[in-house]
């Protein structure tokens, strides 16, 4: 029996600056039997999305499929006439894009968009299509499968939207589904739910799938085969087990090594007697007028010289708000921030220049954090002139030093940010913050937008800088593995409040706050079958329940984590705020459960 | 996303030639305006013995106007008014409008509300009516005309700059600048202005054309440049009868207006735009 998907000698060409055609995908070949999942893995620019799109017989503007065979169920995608290709794309192959939010039309109800493909092709009547969509919603474990289709895209969560998009792709019973980084933009806890749903559907329907990702741990859960791409060339191809345990290719080994958590780069020294660089107590902040939407409530923290405080939480947990409050961009309406003993004004505009200089922030998106109109040299020189009053020759020398410090060549100073890669931009972003000579660096998700290998390099750089300069840091991330590898102390936030604060060791040893446990077990592990070995999902929340949960998060009493908690007690957790109490590990958690109870629930000795 | 290869594949420097041509034409007219007395073959008000609205000849290459004056000399002198006055007024309008627009976007709150509502109020007054009232009150003089035209076009420039700046103001690098402690002037001039320069300049090019037209309309109504002097718009108007005789007197100033306005736009699209465009098209 021949394979359902066959790609042979695929070459895709694009035009370069001089107008000449250059191959951006070189001679890629792989195949998949019916019901198999093939993963395409690689960094940005590896050609994985370009290859995946080619499976639909599509090349992006400026590109062209130059050579090779693409066969799906015996049909050659390259030989199809123009009118047949549309049918081919819907019926035989379908596509699930990375950003579901950008793929739905915000003006139409979900159900209408989901069934549109079937209606256009005249496969099903409207009623039959709706019924089928509801079936798929249920199969994908979406809450309220009957009703969810009648909502608009903004009324469902990101993880739900991604699953609705999967339903849309599966409506026409395609033989092949192409999933392009479908969970990359999601929180880990959501990612687990989505992966679980995808996996079940792929199994049940016997769909063949091509899964594009940069995350080996995710791929390990989904794929039967892995194709490793780099710079448009195949590096290695093999069964998932073989790639993970016995990679033959040097680049594959590099990818495996770059998975965060595979090595620890945090220093082990503790200087607890010193005065904290930054200390905060009872911070509260909100967005909108007159205390509109509370975003932070009663947050306290302490950063000692040379130490890294990791802050972790899902999107919406208030971790980026915390960074904005500490830097004064969003003035806190309660609480105090102390910098080396002196109280800071809540708003940046009221702080002295020396105080501003001491606390520097590095934003997540280097793309938007660097002014595209300024050269690298101008960007880094500005803090030098602004805080230290350097003249232009001194600035030039220092810019070269700083570039060297972040391991970039000095001749980059004349370039514009648009000429740089993502990793280079993030280093410039870092160099600009370092130019101020801060005593505390706040890193807000600085590695989240980067490829695994590049992110690992940036983390290494941060660890180095910390050793060299004795810099204290607040490192904000949604990725527990990253936090574990860089932070000395970890603060876990949920709904704008810290639920656990303590050392990294305390987090690893346990017992820990129930939310910390949920986070910890949601981080995909680099082994096959990890997903299947997970506990079954907790109670899926209906819409009404969710709304209640949200309301509870905003109300001042009751534990915000109540609705998702494994060890909750009705009538206790949802009525009174949970108390802070210290554990024997030194960690402070916000939970009514005692240490012994948590230890028992989590199986800690 | 794997589009890095594509990004480098985009051709970058194509618009240089039209840009240079535009610059050359604008420079030519600036020089003509500057050295008008040195290069005119006849005094602009002198009546030649060639008759009225005569065709092109060696003595008067652009023919003569409705009073028999040398058209070439009149176009050369007209350049002083059109280039000087309209360009100056547009520069004022665009600069003031842009700075206020960015300021409104950056400041927000009451500053934004105050500036925006004032702009709305001004934009609702018809330019020509407003100009008539002001000229009637203050009399017609060059400073009044420059001020008047500038004032008429400030609200439009303000609206464009404000909406452009509002987009840029939402970017993280503005937050970085604020966290650094930068003042509003720095944010307006160094962080935002360079990023909206291309659309602002494009708007400037359009506005310049409108300014030339407004000035011509005022001159036609007798409220603009006063005879015997005339800007190019006024030259077209005063010789409009020549159109039935195909006299070059109508065509010459019209061509002059066309070359200048097109050249200004070519210059902006080409030279100013190259680097900016490369950046914006990322």
Question: The complex's ipTM?
Answer: 0.74
Cβ B176–A60 below 8 Å, yes or no? no
Cβ B2–A16 below 8 Å, yes or no? no
Select, from the ranges A453-457, B92-96, B167-171, the one with the highest average predicted confidence (pLDDT).
B92-96
Using CB atoms, pick whichever of B5, B179, B195 lies closest to residue A14.
B5
The shortest C-alpha distance from B195 to chain A (Å) reads 6
CA angle A446, A447, A450 (to 5 degrees): 125
Tell me the pLDDT tens digit for each residue of A575-595. 777 888 888 888 888 888 888
Cβ B180–A436 below 8 Å, yes or no? yes
Residue B145 has pLDDT above 60, yes or no: yes
Residue B12 has pLDDT above 60, yes or no: no
pLDDT of residue B281: 43
How many Å apart are CA A217 and CA A239, to the nearest integer? 14
CA distances from B98 to B91, B107, B178 (A): 10, 14, 21
Put simply, whether B179 touches A (Cβ < 8 Å) is yes
What is the pLDDT confidence band of residue B60, given thresholds at 50, 70 and 90? Answer: confident
Would residue B14 count as lying in a domain? no
Burial B124-154, CB ≥16 within 10 A → b, else e: eeebeeebeebbeeeebeeebbbebbbbbbb
Predicted TM-score (pTM) of this structure = 0.77
Residue B9 has pLDDT above 60, yes or no: no
pLDDT of residue A214: 84
CATH number at residue B128: 1.10.3720.10
Contacts of B181 in chain A (CB under 8 A): 348-349, 351, 353, 356, 386
Provide mean pLDDT across the span B164-188: 90
Put simply, whether A328 touches B (Cβ < 8 Å) is yes
Walk me through the domains of chain A, giving residue ranges and CATH numbers: 35-58+80-258 (3.40.50.300), 278-374+424-509 (3.40.50.300), 518-602 (no CATH)
Using CB atoms, pick whichever of B190, B197, B279 lies closest to residue A416.
B279
What is the pLDDT confidence band of residue B15, given thresholds at 50, 70 and 90? Answer: low
Would residue B209 count as lying in a domain? yes
Length of chain A: 605
Domain with B119, as residue range(s), is 73-280
Cβ B279–A372 below 8 Å, yes or no? yes
Q: Retrieve residue A479's tokens.
A: 């990725």
Number of domains in chain B: 1
Proportion of chain B above pLDDT 90, given as a percent: 20
Question: Among B5, B8, B10, B186, which would you mutate to test the A interface (most chain A Cβ atoms within 10 Å of its Cβ)?
Answer: B5
Furthest CA-CA distance within chain B? 75
pLDDT of residue A555: 52
pLDDT of residue A540: 46
Q: What does residue B13 show for φ and ψ, rounded to 5 degrees?
A: -110, 90
Half-sphere exposure (CA, 13 Å, Cβ side) for A329? 21
The ranges of chain A with pLDDT < 50 are 1, 539-544, 547, 552, 554
Tell me the pLDDT tens digit for each residue of B207-261. 887 888 788 778 777 788 877 788 888 888 888 888 887 778 888 888 888 898 8
How many Å apart are CA B95 and CA B81, to the nearest integer? 20
pLDDT of residue B282: 39
pLDDT of residue A155: 82
Select, from the ranges A258-267, B72-81, B92-101, the one with the highest average predicted confidence (pLDDT).
B92-101
The closest of B134, B277, B257, B143 to B199, measured between CA atoms, is B277
Average pLDDT of chain B?
Answer: 82
Would residue B147 count as lying in a domain? yes
Contact of A156 with A164, CB cutoff 8 Å = yes
The A residues from 335 to 374 touching B (CB cutoff 8 Å) are 348-349, 351, 353, 356, 360-361, 363, 365, 368-374
Q: Retrieve residue A29's tokens.
A: 């070949």
The shortest C-alpha distance from B8 to chain A (Å) reads 6
CA distances from A260 to A212, A220, A422, A455 (A): 20, 15, 18, 9
Put simply, whether A327 touches B (Cβ < 8 Å) is yes
The shortest C-alpha distance from B83 to chain A (Å) reads 30
The closest of B169, B3, B12 to A422, measured between CA atoms, is B3
Pairing of strands A233-239, A75-76: unpaired
**In terms of CA atoms, which chain A residue is nearest residue B180?**
A356
CB < 8 Å & 24+ apart, contacts of B276-281: B276/A373, B276/B197, B276/B198, B277/B15, B277/B198, B278/A418, B278/B12, B279/A372, B279/A373, B279/A416, B279/A418, B279/B195, B280/B198, B281/B10
Cβ A374–B1 below 8 Å, yes or no? no
Contact of A490 with A503, CB cutoff 8 Å = yes
Contact of A392 with A380, CB cutoff 8 Å = no
Would residue B10 count as lying in a domain? no
C-alpha B150: how far from chain center: 10
What is the pLDDT confidence band of residue B16, given thresholds at 50, 70 and 90? Answer: low
Contacts of B11 in chain A (CB under 8 A): 17-19
Interacting residues of A586 by C-beta distance below 8 A, sequence separation 6+? A502, A503, A506
Residue B178 has pLDDT above 60, yes or no: yes
Categorise residue A304: left if φ over 0, alpha if ψ from -120 to 50, beta otherwise: beta
Would residue B80 count as lying in a domain? yes
Taking each continuous run of H as one helix and of E as one strand, the counts in chain B are: 14, 0
Would residue B259 count as lying in a domain? yes
């Amino acid at each position: 029996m021949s394979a359902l998907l066959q790609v042979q000698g695929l070459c895709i060409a694009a035009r370069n600056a001089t107008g000449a055609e250059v191959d951006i995908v070189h001679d890629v070949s792989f195949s998949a039997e019916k019901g198999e999942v093939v993963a395409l893995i690689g960094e940005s620019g590896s050609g994985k999305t370009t290859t995946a799109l080619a499976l639909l017989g599509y090349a992006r503007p400026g590109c062209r499929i130059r050579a090779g065979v693409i066969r799906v169920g015996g049909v050659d995608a390259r030989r199809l006439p123009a009118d047949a290709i549309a049918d081919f794309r819907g019926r035989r192959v379908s596509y699930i894009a990375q950003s579901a939010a950008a793929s739905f039309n915000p003006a139409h109800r979900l159900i209408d968009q989901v069934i549109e493909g079937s209606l256009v092709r005249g496969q099903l009547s409207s009623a039959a299509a709706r019924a089928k969509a509801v079936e798929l919603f249920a199969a994908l474990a979406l809450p309220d499968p009957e009703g969810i289709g009648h909502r608009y895209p903004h009324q469902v969560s990101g993880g739900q939207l991604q699953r609705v998009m999967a339903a849309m792709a599966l409506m026409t019973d395609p033989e092949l589904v192409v999933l392009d980084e479908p969970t990359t933009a999601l929180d880990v806890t959501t990612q687990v739910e989505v992966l679980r749903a995808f996996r079940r559907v792929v199994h049940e329907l016997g769909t063949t799938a091509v899964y594009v990702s940069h995350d080996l741990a995710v791929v390990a859960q989904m794929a039967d085969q892995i194709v490793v791409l780099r710079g448009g060339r195949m590096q290695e191809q093999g069964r998932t087990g073989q790639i993970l345990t016995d990679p033959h290719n040097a680049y594959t080994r590099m990818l495996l090594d770059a998975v965060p958590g595979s090595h620890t780069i945090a220093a082990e020294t503790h200087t607890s007697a010193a005065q904290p660089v930054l200390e905060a107590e009872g911070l509260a902040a909100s967005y909108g007028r007159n205390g509109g939407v509370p975003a932070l409530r009663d947050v306290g923290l302490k950063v000692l010289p040379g130490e890294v405080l990791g802050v972790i939480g899902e999107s919406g947990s208030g971790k980026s708000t915390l960074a904005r409050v500490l830097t004064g961009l969003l003035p806190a309406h309660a609480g105090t921030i102390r910098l080396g003993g002196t109280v800071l004004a809540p708003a940046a505009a009221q702080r002295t220049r020396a105080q501003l200089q001491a606390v520097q922030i590095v934003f997540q998106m280097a793309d938007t954090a660097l002014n595209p109109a300024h050269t690298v040299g101008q960007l880094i020189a500005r803090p030098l002139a602004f805080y230290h009053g350097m003249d232009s020759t001194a600035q030039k020398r220092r810019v070269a030093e700083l570039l060297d410090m972040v391991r970039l060549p000095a001749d980059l100073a004349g370039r514009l940010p648009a000429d740089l890669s993502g990793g280079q931009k993030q280093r410039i972003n870092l160099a600009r913050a370092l130019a101020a000579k801060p005593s505390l660096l706040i890193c807000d998700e600085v590695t989240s937008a980067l490829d695994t290998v590049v992110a690992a390099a940036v983390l290494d750089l941060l660890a180095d800088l910390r050793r060299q300069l004795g810099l204290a840091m607040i490192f904000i991330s949604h990725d527990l593995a990253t936090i574990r590898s860089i932070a000395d102390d970890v603060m876990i936030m949920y709904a704008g409040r810290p639920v656990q604060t303590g050392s990294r060791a305390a987090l690893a040893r346990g017992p820990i706050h129930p939310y910390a446990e949920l986070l910890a077990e949601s981080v995909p592990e680099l082994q096959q079958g990890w997903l299947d070995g997970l506990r079954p999902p907790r109670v899926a929340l209906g819409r009404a329940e969710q709304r209640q949960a949200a309301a509870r998060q905003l109300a001042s009493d009751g534990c915000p984590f109540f609705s998702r908690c494994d060890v909750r007690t009705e009538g206790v957790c949802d009525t009174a705020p949970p108390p802070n109490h210290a554990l024997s590990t030194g960690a402070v958690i916000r939970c009514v459960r005692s240490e012994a109870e948590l230890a028992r629930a989590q199986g800690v000795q | 996303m794997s589009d890095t290869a594509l990004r480098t594949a985009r051709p970058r420097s194509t618009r240089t030639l039209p840009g240079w041509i535009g610059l050359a034409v604008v420079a030519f007219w600036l020089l003509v305006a500057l050295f008008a007395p040195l290069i005119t073959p006849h005094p602009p008000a002198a009546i030649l013995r060639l008759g009225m609205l005569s065709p092109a000849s060696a003595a008067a290459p652009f023919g003569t106007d409705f009073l028999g004056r040398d058209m070439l000399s009149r176009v050369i002198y007209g350049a002083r008014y059109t280039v000087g006055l309209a360009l100056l007024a547009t520069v004022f309008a665009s600069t003031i409008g842009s700075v206020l627009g960015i300021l409104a976007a950056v400041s927000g709150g009451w500053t934004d509300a105050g500036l925006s509502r004032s702009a709305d109020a001004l934009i609702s007054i018809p330019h020509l009516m407003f100009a008539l009232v002001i000229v009637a009150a203050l009399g017609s003089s060059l400073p009044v005309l420059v001020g008047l035209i500038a004032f008429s076009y400030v609200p439009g420039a303000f609206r464009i700059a404000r909406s452009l700046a509002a987009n840029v103001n939402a970017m993280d690098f503005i937050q970085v600048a604020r966290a650094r402690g930068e003042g509003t002037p720095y944010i307006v001039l160094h962080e935002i202005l360079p990023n909206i320069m291309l659309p602002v300049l494009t708007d400037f090019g359009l506005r310049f054309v409108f300014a030339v037209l407004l000035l011509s309309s005022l001159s036609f109504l007798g409220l603009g440049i006063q005879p015997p002097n005339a800007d190019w718009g006024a030259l077209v108007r005063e010789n409009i009868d020549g159109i039935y005789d195909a006299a070059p007197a109508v065509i010459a100033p019209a061509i002059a207006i066309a070359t200048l306005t097109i050249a200004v736009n070519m210059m902006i699209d080409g030279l100013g735009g190259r680097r900016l465009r490369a950046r914006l098209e990322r």
